[in-house]
């Protein structure tokens, strides 16, 4: 087993997830109020698996969605 994290104080492995969480909070979480945990769970599921992966274009992928980028080979 190989450790995937960089040395202490150099959290470069976390950068992609930190960027995703920032985007999710900015585009989704801060715009809605959730009555229950179930509402929040359902909303996050729909954001990630429907909007973020299948409909939201990403500049890193040349304007394609992550789904399109993975399946364009």
pLDDT tens series, the chain, 73 aa: 666 656 666 666 677 788 889 999 999 999 999 999 999 999 999 999 898 888 888 888 888 888 888 888 6
pLDDT value, residue 6: 63
| Category of 2 on φ-ψ map: left (φ > 0), alpha (ψ -120 to 50) or beta | beta
- Summary count for the chain: helices (H), strands (E): 3, 0
The pTM of the full predicted model, rounded to 2 decimals, is: 0.66
């Amino acid at each position: 087993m190989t450790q995937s994290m960089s040395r202490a104080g150099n959290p470069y492995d976390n950068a992609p997830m930190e960027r995703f969480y920032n985007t999710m909070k900015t585009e989704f979480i801060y715009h809605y109020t959730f009555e229950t945990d179930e509402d929040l769970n359902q909303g996050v599921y729909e954001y990630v698996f429907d909007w973020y992966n299948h409909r939201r274009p990403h500049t890193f992928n040349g304007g394609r969605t992550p789904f399109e980028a993975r399946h364009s080979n």
